[in-house]
Structure 1
C-alpha cells in the first residue's frame, strides 16, 4: 500500500522515507495500538488512585446516646 506525498501529491511506496517525485521527507504513520494501550494503562492507574479510600483518615465513631438520667 502506498501513500501520497504531502508536498507534491505523488505516490510514495510503503517504507520509503523520501518522495521519489520531489525528494521531500515523508513522515512515518503513527501506529495507534501501542499509543492506545499506553493511554488505557495510564487511565486505569489514575482511576485506581482516585477511587482508593484514604486509609490515613480516622474513621468517625458514632457517639453514644445520652440518656435522660445523665442530663
Structure 2
C-alpha cells in the first residue's frame, strides 16, 4: 500500500496560475484516499464483482447479446 500511495502525483494542471490549485489538490487527495480505502477493503467487494461478471456472462452466452455487452466489459 505504501508503494501504491507514493505513485499518485498531481496533474500538471496545478501549475496553471489561473486555476484554483488548492481546490484541485483537495479533490485529488480525497479521490486518492477513497481509492486506497476501497483497495484495502477489496475482499468486501469481491462477491459483488463476481455477480456482475456472472450477469454479463449470462447476457453474452445465454441471451446471445455478445455485441451489446462488449461495451460494458
Q: TM-score, normalized by length of structure 2?
A: 0.35
Structure number with larger C-alpha Rg:
1
Q: TM-score, normalized by length of structure 1?
A: 0.36
| Highest RCO, 1 vs 2 (Cα 8 Å, sep ≥ 6) | 2
Structure with more helix by fraction: 2
Structure with more strand by fraction: 1
